[in-house]
Chain A
């Protein structure tokens, strides 16, 4: 008991918000202590305000990517990628997607933004985004195994896009294909959220 009260005595006066009583020469006058209380509160308040202004100003800019509506990503349009005659039956071929792109202040024309595999089967053409639905690695096509293989976490997909082995939550992301004028292969290039069961366009 004695030890405890001794400790408390030590703590009480040195707690920094209330220490002045220990040092103030006129602690007993209530008016004076009111004034001191006000001064302390005012100091803390003003200090907080002047510190908060630059900090808030900075954080507002920092969170600009969050506060910004997704106006930068434009609606996906169909892109002409190949002619039917270029494609071999049952053999996926890789095509780069070249688009105009804007990155912050910059505007680029015709830069590679991604790639797709085009696979002709019978008279149908299937297009896959080359990005692994798991965590966004670039999926390889293996000629010998005749499958798609992700070099990062070893997901394997069959030519029809289904997951045959591995950790990917969903099959390869198929893209909409249109055959125009009988021979032109047009693909709507879209990106999808990674590691979700459903295909969500981003």
Chain B
């Protein structure tokens, strides 16, 4: 301790630091320390968290159209502690918004804006705006769907500003379209201009606060105290509470959600972050060119009124007006927020798009684990997106539509006939159980879901939300032509299961099923039969030259050779060609190069070509021949199916 003291003395002798610390710590608190004085300190603390976490996030962030989402994804999912760091930054921002409102409320209620503190109040209002600007700019930086779409709405609103709107928008976006410079500009604002302004104003804010001192709340509770240590402890405890709140939020929401990468071609329900939701809702009441009234004029008037509060509040009447105004705004914003949330909760479009977006995000993050191509993560989704658009009306992929969608939420009337097998007794629980079963979710999930909409007790004639499973009529294509795929497909019992050809015309017409039953009946118990089948499968699968099987194909050359011979021996060649192809002689698809890039491109191009199903083609369109897909799009689907 003595050493520390010596060092301190040494330092003070040269810098005069002691006086400054004394000045900070021994500020007079009239009437003693109180809990109501803590808000400013909690905000300073939240700001400090943002600066610290922000600078560390900065070290991993790369602002550009092809790296923003990718680098944020990497921070969150690959860097040690990255998930926590991002969560901390995200949730502190949310909490800070609440603290700002509390601070403002306390200032207005206590009349702390009155003379001679007007300037300090204005500093505070500007700080409030700057913080909101930080939230807005930060929301875009991950370049994910929700940030992208929310910002698009916000900047379009800005573009509607009279006279300067268009130019302002060009300036902010860095061009006519959203892209690299939108990100670099938003990042410069978010991590440079805005924080520096915030620091400058905060210094001014605290300086002015010190100059005028605390506005004591009358009646005083006790005798005067110094800031240190009583008020400091209260402030510290409040900061701790802020931190605990942030941590609880972080852990209960599992950090900050990262949506799928920004994609202007996918529909997404654009919503701003919750604290701007009331403004968003407000705009719904201003049709067409009246929009500018709701987006700019009215909020502008309200902001001006808030700015003028110190002047309005000179008289007792004015102060009361200010109080009413503030609470009016808060109640108004609260009601609008509630209406917005409630509308979404009951909107099928919103719920379905939200679920779709969530699954898409999960999918792309899983795909990104193997590394992201230089073109960015959006490229990863091109295959599945095209599949879901063009193929998934018939084909499934691992039971879903390529983008993890297995069902769609619908309102179902309890007594609806949509239930495939109505329960014997019309008791609520039975019906619910049956619905949940058919939808493939648990009863608990179903209940929770409807409870979220306020349906705590469900009556028989209620409409409830139910996910309805999609039906797929054509074969599942996950792992197409791989060994596992063929093992399942060529099983006598599976060939005509709904997963493969069960719902197609081939189930009844094709000879394949009968052939499999004749040749491979009892394959599950017959070792020799299974071995034969395995060799055929290896031979067939090798035709695909799947990247995931390169090594296996190389190792099993002997089996593949035997498989080829068996293909002929047991009579596959009676219908299917393999190797020496002559279209006229075969009635079933040619299996030369089966599952290869070229083969798949061919069948997508025209399945009714004599090389494939010919006249037996069941409903599959000729995507290439009829120009439903470009060659490039077909390649994207094929490469994704083949795991390339």
A67 to B79, CA, bound (A): 10
Whether B243 and A61, one on each chain, are in contact in the complex, defined by CB atoms closer than 8 angstroms, is: no
A1 contacts chain B at the CB level, 8 A cutoff: no
Q: For the complex formed, measure the closest distance between the CB of B42 and the CB atoms of chain A, giving whole angstroms.
A: 10
Q: A19-B22, A58-B52 are in contact. Are A108 and B80 (CB under 8 A)?
A: no
A62 to B56, CA, bound (A): 7
Whether B26 and A23, one on each chain, are in contact in the complex, defined by CB atoms closer than 8 angstroms, is: yes
Report A51-74 residues with CB < 8 Å from chain B CB: 51, 53-55, 57-64, 67-68
Given contacts A20-B228, A60-B85, A105-B368, 5 further A-B contacts (CB under 8 A): A51-B48, A57-B85, A64-B81, A102-B371, A106-B374
A11 contacts chain B at the CB level, 8 A cutoff: yes
Chain B residues with CB under 8 Å of A20's CB are 226, 228-229
Q: For the complex formed, measure the closest distance between the CB of B143 and the CB atoms of chain A, giving whole angstroms.
A: 13
24 CB < 8 A contacts A-B: A11-B5, A19-B25, A20-B229, A39-B233, A42-B233, A43-B232, A43-B233, A46-B240, A47-B239, A53-B88, A54-B88, A58-B53, A58-B85, A61-B82, A62-B59, A63-B80, A64-B80, A64-B82, A104-B71, A104-B78, A105-B70, A105-B368, A106-B372, A107-B373
Which positions in B face A, CB cutoff 8 Å? 5, 8-9, 18, 21-22, 25-26, 45, 48-49, 52-53, 55-57, 59-60, 67, 70-71, 73-75, 78-82, 84-85, 88, 223, 226, 228-230, 232-233, 236-237, 239-240, 242-243, 247, 368, 370-374
Whether B236 and A42, one on each chain, are in contact in the complex, defined by CB atoms closer than 8 angstroms, is: yes
Chain B residues with CB under 8 Å of A57's CB are 53, 56, 81, 84-85, 88
**A60 nearest CB neighbor, chain B only:** B81
A43 to B85, CA, bound (A): 25
Looking at the complex, which one of B49, B67, B230 makes contact with A54 (CB distance below 8 Å)? Answer: B49
Chain A residues with CB under 8 Å of B242's CB are 50
Whether B74 and A104, one on each chain, are in contact in the complex, defined by CB atoms closer than 8 angstroms, is: yes
Whether B233 and A15, one on each chain, are in contact in the complex, defined by CB atoms closer than 8 angstroms, is: no
A36 contacts chain B at the CB level, 8 A cutoff: yes
Whether B5 and A15, one on each chain, are in contact in the complex, defined by CB atoms closer than 8 angstroms, is: yes
Whether B233 and A50, one on each chain, are in contact in the complex, defined by CB atoms closer than 8 angstroms, is: no
Looking at the complex, which one of B8, B21, B229 makes contact with A43 (CB distance below 8 Å)? Answer: B229
**B82 nearest CB neighbor, chain A only:** A61
Looking at the complex, which one of A16, A40, A53, A54 makes contact with B18 (CB distance below 8 Å)? Answer: A16
A49 contacts chain B at the CB level, 8 A cutoff: yes
Chain B residues with CB under 8 Å of A88's CB are none
A164 contacts chain B at the CB level, 8 A cutoff: no
A14 contacts chain B at the CB level, 8 A cutoff: yes
User: A18-57 interface mask toward B, CB cutoff 8 Å, 1 = contact, 0 = none?
Assistant: 0110010100000000001001101100110111011101
Looking at the complex, which one of A19, A46, A107 makes contact with B236 (CB distance below 8 Å)? Answer: A46
A16 to B232, CA, bound (A): 14
A107 to B49, CA, bound (A): 34
A43 to B74, CA, bound (A): 37
Which positions in A face B, CB cutoff 8 Å? 11, 14-16, 19-20, 23, 25, 36, 39-40, 42-43, 46-47, 49-51, 53-55, 57-64, 67-68, 102, 104-108
Q: For the complex formed, measure the closest distance between the CB of B213 and the CB atoms of chain A, giving whole angstroms.
A: 17
A67 to B78, CA, bound (A): 12
**A37 nearest CB neighbor, chain B only:** B229
Chain A residues with CB under 8 Å of B82's CB are 61, 64
Q: For the complex formed, measure the closest distance between the CB of B201 and the CB atoms of chain A, giving whole angstroms.
A: 22
Whether A43 and B236, one on each chain, are in contact in the complex, defined by CB atoms closer than 8 angstroms, is: yes
Chain A residues with CB under 8 Å of B239's CB are 46-47, 50
A108 to B370, CA, bound (A): 11
A77 to B507, CA, bound (A): 49
Q: For the complex formed, measure the closest distance between the CB of B56 and the CB atoms of chain A, giving whole angstroms.
A: 3
Whether B374 and A64, one on each chain, are in contact in the complex, defined by CB atoms closer than 8 angstroms, is: no
A43 to B237, CA, bound (A): 8
A107 to B228, CA, bound (A): 55
Looking at the complex, which one of A16, A60, A64 makes contact with B25 (CB distance below 8 Å)? Answer: A16
- Which 5 residue pairs are nearest across A and B when measured between Cβ atoms? A107-B371, A58-B56, A60-B81, A46-B236, A105-B74
**B243 nearest CB neighbor, chain A only:** A50
Q: Is chain A's interface secondary structure helix, strand, loop, or mixed overall?
A: helix
Q: For the complex formed, measure the closest distance between the CB of B10 and the CB atoms of chain A, giving whole angstroms.
A: 11
Whether A14 and B56, one on each chain, are in contact in the complex, defined by CB atoms closer than 8 angstroms, is: no
Q: For the complex formed, measure the closest distance between the CB of B71 and the CB atoms of chain A, giving whole angstroms.
A: 7
**B24 nearest CB neighbor, chain A only:** A16
A63 to B82, CA, bound (A): 11
Chain A residues with CB under 8 Å of B233's CB are 39, 42-43, 46
Looking at the complex, which one of B73, B81, B223 makes contact with A61 (CB distance below 8 Å)? Answer: B81
Residue from A19, A67, A68 with most neighbouring chain B CB atoms (10 Å):
A19
Q: A20-B226, A42-B233 are in contact. Are A11 and B48 (CB under 8 A)?
A: no
Chain B residues with CB under 8 Å of A11's CB are 5, 9
A53 to B233, CA, bound (A): 18
A40 to B226, CA, bound (A): 12
Chain A residues with CB under 8 Å of B75's CB are 61
Q: For the complex formed, measure the closest distance between the CB of A133 and the CB atoms of chain B, giving whole angstroms.
A: 31
Residue from B22, B79, B370 with most neighbouring chain A CB atoms (10 Å):
B79
Q: For the complex formed, measure the closest distance between the CB of A62 and the CB atoms of chain B, giving whole angstroms.
A: 6
Q: A54-B53, A67-B80 are in contact. Are A16 and B21 (CB under 8 A)?
A: yes
Chain A residues with CB under 8 Å of B81's CB are 57, 60-61, 64
Q: A20-B228, A42-B233, A46-B236 are in contact. Are A61 and B18 (CB under 8 A)?
A: no
A107 to B240, CA, bound (A): 42
Whether B45 and A50, one on each chain, are in contact in the complex, defined by CB atoms closer than 8 angstroms, is: yes
A36 to B370, CA, bound (A): 58
Q: For the complex formed, measure the closest distance between the CB of B68 and the CB atoms of chain A, giving whole angstroms.
A: 11
**B241 nearest CB neighbor, chain A only:** A50
**B236 nearest CB neighbor, chain A only:** A46
Q: For the complex formed, measure the closest distance between the CB of A166 and the CB atoms of chain B, giving whole angstroms.
A: 37
Q: For the complex formed, measure the closest distance between the CB of A9 and the CB atoms of chain B, giving whole angstroms.
A: 13
A147 to B393, CA, bound (A): 67
Chain B residues with CB under 8 Å of A67's CB are 80
Q: For the complex formed, measure the closest distance between the CB of A44 and the CB atoms of chain B, giving whole angstroms.
A: 8
Looking at the complex, which one of A15, A62, A105, A108 makes contact with B78 (CB distance below 8 Å)? Answer: A105
A164 to B88, CA, bound (A): 57
**A103 nearest CB neighbor, chain B only:** B371
**B232 nearest CB neighbor, chain A only:** A43
Whether B52 and A55, one on each chain, are in contact in the complex, defined by CB atoms closer than 8 angstroms, is: yes
Residue from B71, B80, B226 with most neighbouring chain A CB atoms (10 Å):
B80
Whether A50 and B53, one on each chain, are in contact in the complex, defined by CB atoms closer than 8 angstroms, is: no
A64 to B8, CA, bound (A): 35
Chain B residues with CB under 8 Å of A60's CB are 80-81, 84-85
Whether B370 and A61, one on each chain, are in contact in the complex, defined by CB atoms closer than 8 angstroms, is: no
Residue from A55, A57, A60 with most neighbouring chain B CB atoms (10 Å):
A57
A19 to B227, CA, bound (A): 13
Q: For the complex formed, measure the closest distance between the CB of B542 and the CB atoms of chain A, giving whole angstroms.
A: 23
**B73 nearest CB neighbor, chain A only:** A105
**B66 nearest CB neighbor, chain A only:** A106
A43 to B239, CA, bound (A): 11
A11 to B8, CA, bound (A): 10
Chain B residues with CB under 8 Å of A108's CB are 374
**B21 nearest CB neighbor, chain A only:** A16
A59 to B237, CA, bound (A): 24
Q: For the complex formed, measure the closest distance between the CB of A104 and the CB atoms of chain B, giving whole angstroms.
A: 5
